[in-house]
C-alpha cells in the first residue's frame, strides 16, 4: 500500500462541516484506510484575495489506488459536495489535493505530485508537520 497525504480545504457553507463530510468520504475510499487527520487550521485565502477565510487540514491515508484513480476519487468527492470550478484559487465548498504519494514524482497535465506549492503554503505545512514531522523523507 502507498502512503499518501491529502490536503483538504473549504471556505463555503460551514467550512469545518464540509471538511468533516469530506473526511467521511475519504475514510470510505476503496482499498484505502485513513490513518491520521490534522487539526483544522483557519487561514486567509491564498492566491485570490478578498474572500472568506479557509478551514484546512491534512489527511494521511494508505491506499492501493493508483495516483490517477485517487485523483478521480478526490474529484468525485468534491463533486458530491457541490464543488463548482469557477475561478482558480476562488471560493470553494471543498478542495481535495493530493500532496504526496509515497516518494513518487508525477507531472502530467492533470496531476503534479508532490504538490507544486507544498513548501510555500503554511495552510499545508502546519497540518502536515503536525501529523508527520518527518514528511521531508517523502520529498526526496
**Domain that includes residue 20, residue range:** 2-139
Q: Tell whether the model's pLDDT for residue 104 goes beyond 80.
A: yes
Measure the CA–CA gap between 28 and 13, rounded to whole angstroms: 22
pTM: 0.94
Phi-psi region of 82 (alpha: psi -120 to 50; beta: other; left: phi over 0): left
**In the chain, how many domains are there?**
1
Q: What is the mean pLDDT of residues 55-73?
A: 98
What is the spatial distance between Cα 84 and Cα 19, in angstroms, rounded to a whole number? 16
Buried b (16+ CB within 10 A) or exposed e, 33-59: ebeebbebbebebbeeeebeebbbbbb
Mean of all residue pLDDT scores within the chain: 93
Domain of 93, CATH number, reads 3.30.70.560
Which amino acids are annotated catalytic? 83, 92, 95, 97
- Model confidence at 89, pLDDT cuts 50, 70, 90, reads low
Amino acid at each position: 500500500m502507498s502512503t499518501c497525504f491529502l490536503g483538504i480545504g473549504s471556505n463555503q457553507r460551514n467550512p469545518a462541516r464540509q471538511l468533516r463530510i469530506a473526511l467521511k468520504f475519504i475514510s470510505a475510499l476503496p482499498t484505502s484506510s485513513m490513518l491520521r487527520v490534522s487539526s483544522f487550521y483557519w487561514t486567509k485565502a491564498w492566491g485570490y484575495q478578498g474572500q472568506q477565510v479557509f478551514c484546512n487540514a491534512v489527511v494521511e491515508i494508505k491506499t492501493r489506488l493508483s495516483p490517477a484513480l485517487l485523483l478521480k476519487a478526490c474529484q468525485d468527492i468534491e463533486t458530491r459536495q457541490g464543488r463548482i470550478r469557477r475561478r482558480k484559487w476562488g471560493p470553494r465548498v471543498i478542495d481535495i489535493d493530493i500532496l504526496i504519494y509515497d516518494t513518487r514524482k508525477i507531472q502530467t497535465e492533470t496531476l503534479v505530485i508532490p504538490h507544486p506549492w507544498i513548501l510555500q503554503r503554511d495552510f499545508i505545512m502546519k497540518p502536515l508537520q503536525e501529523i508527520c514531522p518527518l514528511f521531508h523523507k517523502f520529498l526526496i
